[in-house]
Amino acid sequence: MKKLGFRLKHKFFNAFREIFVHHYNSLDFRAKVLALMIAANEKPRVDNYILVKQIAQEIYEKDEDRANLLLLTTKELIDKIHTEHSLSMDALVNSIVNNVKLVPRYAKKIDIDRLRKFLEYSSDEDSYYYQLHILEFLENLKKEILEEKYQENKEK
């Protein structure tokens, strides 16, 4: 009965996330970044999701519901890539880039040290190097956006 209640609550939140979840776009951006790292593995290990849960608890230390929502949103994005095939890695990358360009403060949400932990759970050597390239890309994107923001503020 408890699982049914959770599933109903989850389906309800899915339908109305943007309305009911405070700063949902920020949470969604974080989920996209986490999903990008995990989806680099063709068959992600459970350890990846445990790490997402730990990261979510660190970020939202006083809000367990929000931490759980980050985990669920991340898992849904990965499922869209690997199971449903309704989202590609390229589309996810483009979405992240567009989000950061529209809202430059999101660049600060890209925590390279936390993301580096996913390298431990790479399923094979190719996935490991793919994740390294993703990390490099995200780090460069973050630097680029933050430098642009700094230059804009400097010119004012």
Full residue range of the structural domain in which residue 140 is found: 27-155
- Inside any domain, residue 107: yes
Could you please report the per-residue DSSP string of 78-102? Answer: HHHHHTS--S-HHHHHHHHHHHHHH
- Work out how many domains the chain is built from and give that number: 1
- Inside any domain, residue 68: yes
pTM confidence score: 0.84
- Inside any domain, residue 120: yes
In contact, 67 and 59? CB cutoff 8 Å = yes
- In tens digits, the chain (156 residues) has pLDDT values of 456 565 666 566 555 555 455 556 899 999 999 999 999 998 899 999 999 999 999 999 988 988 998 999 999 999 999 998 999 999 999 999 999 999 999 999 999 999 999 999 998 999 999 999 999 999 999 999 998 876 776 666
- Inside any domain, residue 116: yes
